[in-house]
Amino acid sequence: MWRACSAVAWLVLSGCQPTFEATGALTVNGESFTPAKCRAMSEATGIEVVTPSGGTVQLTLPPQTVKAFETVRGDVTVTPGGDGPRPSSPCGTLELRGEGYHGGGRRAVSGKVSLRCEQAQGELTFSGCF
């Protein structure tokens, strides 16, 4: 009985994974960067946004826990993807709000980022990042 219930629960909950949505505009290394996907990072406090062509940028905060329905914010460090990415010095702000959905050591987040870095500029508001 327990296996049947846990299988049903897994199917129901897996269908609840949030959908990523973003508004705003980012420029990375002088080019427009429009994220189509977002991953909440389990190994750091932050997110990784991904373009349709596979370009990535990691936006991270100093280590802290993001709990459901709580907000953390701080100075953001930017790491563009590609060969030999080097993180920036803190050069903007990132705000993350924990959403109710979680799994696999990650919590879905929403939030906003404002960048004024040498390699990345702009503002982005997002939700459903998992």
Has residue 44 been placed in a domain? yes
- Work out how many domains the chain is built from and give that number: 1
Domain extent, residue 59, equals 18-129
66: its two tokens: 């993001």
pLDDT digit string (tens) for 92-122?
Answer: 999 999 998 888 878 999 999 999 999 999 9
110 falls within a domain: yes
Between β-strands 56-61 and 71-75, what pairing exists: parallel, antiparallel or unpaired? unpaired
In this predicted structure, what is the pLDDT of residue 27?
96
Alpha-carbon distance of 75 to 78, in angstroms, equals 10
pLDDT for the residue numbered 64: 92
5: in domain: no
Mark the ranges of the chain whose per-residue pLDDT is less than 70: 1-15, 82-85
Please, what sign has the CA dihedral across residues 61, 63, 65, 71?
negative
| Rounded alpha-carbon distances, angstroms, from residue 53 to 3, 45, 50, 80, 109 | 40, 25, 8, 14, 23
Residue 12: inside a domain, yes or no?
A: no
- Say if 35 falls within a structural domain: yes
Instruction: For residue 99, tell me if it sits in a domain.
Output: yes
The amino acid at residue 76 is: V
